[in-house]
Amino acid sequence: MRLVVTGRDGQVTRALQALAGPDLEIVALGRDKFDLAAESDPTPVFAAARPDAIVNAGAYTAVDKAESERELAFAINGRGAGRVARAAAALNIPIIQISTDYVFDGSGERPWREDDPVGPLGVYGASKRAGEEAVAAATPNHSILRTSWVYAPWGANFVKTMLRLAESRPELRVVADQHGAPTSALDIAEGVVAVARNLVARPKDSALRGVFHMAAQGEATWADFAREIFAQSFSRGGPCANVVSIPTSDYPTPAKRPLNSRLSIEKLAEAHGVRLPHWRDGLTRVMHELEQAAGRPRQ
């Protein structure tokens, strides 16, 4: 199977590239090949790669900066996603669109289901919702995968930020009233490949198409996540810090974050047979990769 993936340097794309092998080819397209913000038809670029499916993992992900760059966020996450989906339709192949928990307003305490009303709190979430709508309008042959709190051994993310700060600070104040599932890009990539294989193998199965939630099992607050990061880091001889729980109100940001980012993951398990590992297990895997990259073997 050959997948064309947008966003060459993104966390999910790099995780997908790491899975490449004899039966899986990943063709990652950067902005030099296709710019999601450009008003151009990407169909010839995708056609040249002869993909079995397209994964639109490229996105504008600067949540706070999006509040002052609304046009760019919508150009990439909204209209760009639509152009990718129209190319997939022209090539008669499925598209997998990576989306986010930020399409919800964060109210309530139960996990969000795929058919719950959306209500983005900021520009980033609204632009990703626009992308979902554009993909669905362009082709029925799609799977929209909403995920949450993504991190990886590479790129800029919460895990790497916590470890960097712990190098110089004995104590860190971390938000403890936002709830969700930290989800490793390594696990997301494996889930995406499984979904892609299903879509390609069963082109007429409508149950495999639509909106799905793909997040790790379990739930945590950002403070819970930070404490587990430091516990695992300490066990590996790495940096750690004491975590002080604070409310969101003590850490104001330009973009408002949803307090409830829990996602129901049952639909994906039932339709595609995909269930990601528990978030703590996903973190363990990423911590191992970071340890290996640092050349610090575990004692």
Say if residue 72's pLDDT is above 60: yes
Is residue 107, in this structure, part of any structural domain at all? yes
Domain assignment present for 165? no
Within-domain flag for 89: yes
Q: What is the pLDDT of residue 220?
A: 98
Q: Which residues carry out catalysis?
A: 124
Nearest to 178 by CA among 120, 275, 247, 278: 247
The boundaries of the domain holding residue 71 are 2-156+182-217+262-277
Asked if residue 12 is part of any domain, the answer here is yes
- What is the number of domains present in the chain? 1
Greater model confidence, 183 or 30: 183
Give the model's confidence band at 34: pLDDT under 50 very low, under 70 low, under 90 confident, else very high: confident
- What pTM was estimated for this model as a whole? 0.95
Mean pLDDT in residue range 91-98 = 98
Does residue 249 lie in a domain region? no
Q: Percent of the chain having pLDDT more than 70?
A: 98
Is the pLDDT confidence value at 47 over 70? yes
pLDDT (average), residues 217-221 = 98
Question: Distance of CA 208 to CAs 5, 32, 60, 91, Å?
Answer: 20, 32, 27, 19
Inside any domain, residue 9: yes
pLDDT at 298 over 50: no
Quick check: is 202 in a domain?
yes
CA distances from 119 to 81, 112, 129, 155, 262 (A): 19, 12, 9, 28, 15
**pLDDT for 296:** 54
What are the pLDDT digits (tens) for 152-196?
A: 999 999 999 999 999 999 999 999 999 999 999 999 999 999 999
CATH number for the domain including 102?
Answer: 3.40.50.720
Q: State yes or no: pLDDT of 8 exceeds 90.
A: no
Q: What's residue 299's pLDDT?
A: 42
Q: Is residue 98 part of a domain?
A: yes
In DSSP terms, 194 is beta-bridged to none
